[in-house]
Amino acid sequence: MKFFSLSFLFLAVVLPMTAPAAAQQSGSDWAAAASDQYLVYPDRAYGYNSGSQLKLDLWQAQSKDPVPTVVYIHGGGWFFGDRTGALPYMMPWLERGWNVVDVEYRMSGTAVAPAAVEDVRCALRWIYRNAAEYRLDTDRIIVTGHSAGGHLSLMAGMLADSDGLDNNCPADAASGDKPIHVAAVVDWYGPADIPDLIDGANRRTYAVAWLGSLPDRVAVARRVSPLSYVRPGLPPIFIVHGDQDPVVPYEHSLRMHWELDRLHLPNQLYTVPGGKHGFFGAEANRKAYSAIFDFLEKNVPSLPKRSAAPQR
């Protein structure tokens, strides 16, 4: 089985990013131990669509105790980007000693909506089906992503098997498949209202391209909009968004927050004052992640506390 250790990746990437002196010492200690803490299984094929394999990378924590699994979905307006550039966004989760699964999906130039949504749901199904082999705790799956990846993380966590977007990898009860359920979603400035982006006041060309020339494009846009799936029983949802975002309207996250509050569902909108489309700066990111971990510890009781180090 193909795998490799992480020491060279962390020494090259983590150390330069830990600028403050206290954080640099902590980051250095972590990087030095990373090769003992993780194995990476790259290029696991989780599906086959549009003439090519769909792949993910698994960063498996070497812990005596079961640890949560974070599923990271990259951004790029559904038309560019790939999982190989996701490492900086994965590091806060890796530093906690959790498993991380880094997922690719079909871009709009390969397949229009709802292909990307179907793909990330199939990635979750792969995790369920391979949980025993890789020691993944399916009761503690957190889905996260930035921008388009934030949207896909919402869709992955809010959908039910019965919503009809799992038909590329349908559950097989006879084989022991269980319904997909995630413990929480962390959405970084993902679009929530796709019809608004294709025909509304906030029309964006990246969204228009994702829907293409589908004759039922408005109906499909509603089908791939997180706001269409606000209902009882959703996992806790944490949203990070800058209030000056020129790419994804901040009002999408406001509306999502209001709708979740209306049904008394656990959620939090973390607003970055003056924040554009990401690139908030190191201090703003540290505060956002601190708020995220506080929220997860409060709303997902089975998660390990920040003070608890994983046992190797």
Confidence of residue 160 (pLDDT cuts 50, 70, 90): very high
State yes or no: pLDDT of 312 exceeds 70.
no
- 190-221 burial, b if ≥16 CB within 10 A, otherwise e? bbbbbbbbbeeebebebbbbbbeeeeebeebb
- Domains of the chain, CATH where assigned: 7-299 (3.40.50.1820)
Q: What tens digit of pLDDT does each residue of 253-272 get? A: 999 999 999 999 999 999 99
In the chain, where does DSSP find H-type helix? 7-17, 21-37, 87-94, 115-129, 131-134, 148-158, 194-198, 205-211, 217-223, 250-262, 282-299
CB-based contacts of 201: which residues, under 8 Å, 6+ apart? Answer: none
Q: What tens digit of pLDDT does each residue of 183-196 get? A: 999 999 999 999 99
Q: What tens digit of pLDDT does each residue of 98-150 get? A: 999 999 999 999 999 999 999 999 999 999 999 999 999 999 999 999 999 99
The pLDDT assigned to 33 comes to 63
Tokens of 241: 């968004």
Q: Can you give the pTM of this predicted structure?
A: 0.90
Any idea what DSSP says for residue 161? G
Angle between helices 7-17 and 87-94 (to 10 degrees): 90
Residue type at 191?
Answer: P
Residue 301 to residue 304: CA distance in whole angstroms? 8
Confidence of residue 12 (pLDDT cuts 50, 70, 90): very low
Residue 59 to residue 69: CA distance in whole angstroms? 9
19-31 average pLDDT score: 52
